[in-house]
Amino acid sequence: MIPTSESDGARERLRDADRGQLLLVSGLVVAVSLVALVVLLNASIYSENVATRGIEAADGEALEVRAAVVEETGARIDTANRNGATTGSEIETGIEELNQNLSGRYARRGGIAVVEPVATTPGWYLSGPVDDSTTIPDVNGARSFSITNESALPPTDTGNASSEAVAVVFNDSATGTTHERYLYAEGDDVVVAGGKNGSTPIERCRSPATGDAVTLAVTGDRFDGDPCPGVWPAGLSDGYDVEFENAGGAGVEATATVDTGTDPTSATALTVRDAVYDATIDFRYRTADLRFKTRIRVAPGEPDA
């Protein structure tokens, strides 16, 4: 018979051995679980990357078609406005023709492209020479707005531009703020400058004078085809007036398409025609791997800000 003290010691050693085995088994289970988790995580990440690459490629194709739809719809709107075919129904007919062209074009690539007209916003197309009495009133939106000089621009500098340079003035009556954009000659250059509330303007850009007419794309922030940041004043309230100063002597001509609640015919010397300001369309594109659908507002030449 084992003495009591020896029996207790044996039992204690057995318990220690059991605990060690349990710890060993637990550690093995945790290790196996971690390995399985890592394998599953890697598989998930790989699957997601593969799927994402596929989606991005398909989305890129859909966005390419969308860009073509926007460009061609905008071109049809502007062509119709210039030609005087400016009712909403005529624009919608043009969009339906575009839909037929796109359907045939992308069917050959295995895609189905559908463009459907939703609505159009009426506006006005203005063009012609301007002078100091020319005003475009109550403007809610403007696009493709540019001015071009037909004769020499007045020579001046930033210190005297507010009284001597050709100016386009945005009169925002809702905020009591005016934004001035100046065009003038300085030495051998032609300069674009901007001011606010009649303050001394800040030069925006300049270009060597060549003796030819120059064009300032007001809504496009471009001067003679080159970028000219900050020409368009950001944050205008609806219902602002566009006015001109010192423009008659330089033979300035303007073109613009505007959205306004007021018929500008009686307030401006510009030639005024009915126009379509923008169009809203539904666009769908489908392939074997993609379903893409969106509603698009098309207003070509509208400023970003």
* CA–CA dist 42, 230 (Å, integer): 49
Q: In angstroms, what CA-CA distances link 149 with 177, 193, 224, 259?
A: 26, 16, 11, 25
Q: How far apart are the first and last CA of the chain?
A: 99
| Nearest partner of 161 among 132, 197, 199, judged by Cα | 199
Cα separation, 196 vs 50, in Å, equals 53
Q: Which residues contact 90 (CB under 8 A, 6 or more apart)?
A: 80
pLDDT at 265 over 70: yes
Least confident residue range of 3-7, 236-240, 269-273, 300-304: 3-7
Determine the pLDDT at residue 38.
Answer: 55
- Which of 4-8, 69-73, 164-168 shows the lowest mean pLDDT across its residues? 4-8
Q: Is the pLDDT of residue 145 over 90?
A: yes
Q: Can you list the positions of beta strands (E) in the chain?
A: 112-129, 135-149, 166-172, 177-186, 189-196, 202-208, 215-217, 222-223, 226-227, 240-245, 252-260, 271-286, 291-298
Q: pLDDT tens digit string along 183-203?
A: 999 999 999 999 999 999 999
Position with higher pLDDT, 301 vs 54: 301
In this structure, how many other beta carbons lie within 10 angstroms of the beta carbon of residue 302? 21
Amino acid at 23: L
**What does pTM read for this prediction?**
0.76
